[in-house]
Structure 1
């Protein structure tokens, strides 16, 4: 695979400072037109019903935090690495809170300062991303783990 296999801009696609792109979306909305993901990272309270492409799932209830921070951080690093050569999507049911939190975490991996990650994802993805105070605190609490 090569860089041509990554996402084009638009339709939920976020480009990080190093040029990697990830598509954020809500699973309750129809699948966007265009190319399918080559890898998915899903943040849900139940296993996803997706069998069209490889994916990872982290148990993460709506308006909450991941059940296992260690698992979430490991999966976020995997998604970020894969985004260098694959079309990666990050999704939860609505595509705002959990997805926004994951995208803010990926932004930190990609070089955005931890104290600016929430504002960055709200500017570059969705103005209401990272919905809860707990999600905002979680970003700060895991930032050192994300940079390793």
Structure 2
């Protein structure tokens, strides 16, 4: 088990459950302090190598993820790992794609989808989630639901 982020660290979003996820822009230097244990990188091309476990999600700037199923799985992994690991989500500038992903992770954590953008803007950065289609993507994002079970009749 790895310690999670210090909640006062710049860019760290506290989810309602208490999980902490750091958002950042990859065009900026790596922040001081401990390294992440896992990173989700949202870029149009593969990211530069990092010495920690990571996943790349193809996501062109100002757009939506190229593979929505892969995005859902990646967001779920971020949410799960943030329970006891230092997890970061990052794109080029740390606002649009990162904010959109963080809003989806907030939905997985129980924030209603129609409130998730406001939540991330209030608790991460006011400029999170940059485009109308990113906002719509978050509003339509729903947490995983269990498969229907047979009645047993």
For the pair shown, which has the larger CA radius of gyration, 1 or 2? Answer: 2
1:105-144 maps to which residues of 2 (within 5 A)? Answer: 105-142=104-141, 144=142
Distance in 2, matches of 1:80 and 1:107, equals 8
Structure 1 runs (4+) deviating above 6 angstroms are none
Q: Deviations over 1:87-118 (max 9, x none)?
A: 00000000000000000001111111111000
Is the partner of 1:41 in helix, strand or coil? strand
The question of whether the paired residues in 1 share the 8 Å contact of 2:44 and 2:60 is answered with yes
The question of whether the paired residues in 1 share the 8 Å contact of 2:25 and 2:94 is answered with yes
TM-score by length of 2: 0.91
Gaps of 5+ in 2: 146-153
Q: How many residues align?
A: 144
Report how far residue 51 of structure 1 moved: 2.6
Gaps of 5+ in 1: none
Higher helix share goes to which structure? 1
Q: Deviations over 1:95-142 (max 9, x none)?
A: 000000000001111111111000000000010100000000111222
Distance in 2, matches of 1:36 and 1:78, equals 18
The question of whether the paired residues in 2 share the 8 Å contact of 1:103 and 1:121 is answered with yes
Provide the residue aligned with 1:48 in structure 2: 47
1:10-89 maps to which residues of 2 (within 5 A)? Answer: 10-89=9-88
TM-score by length of 1: 0.94
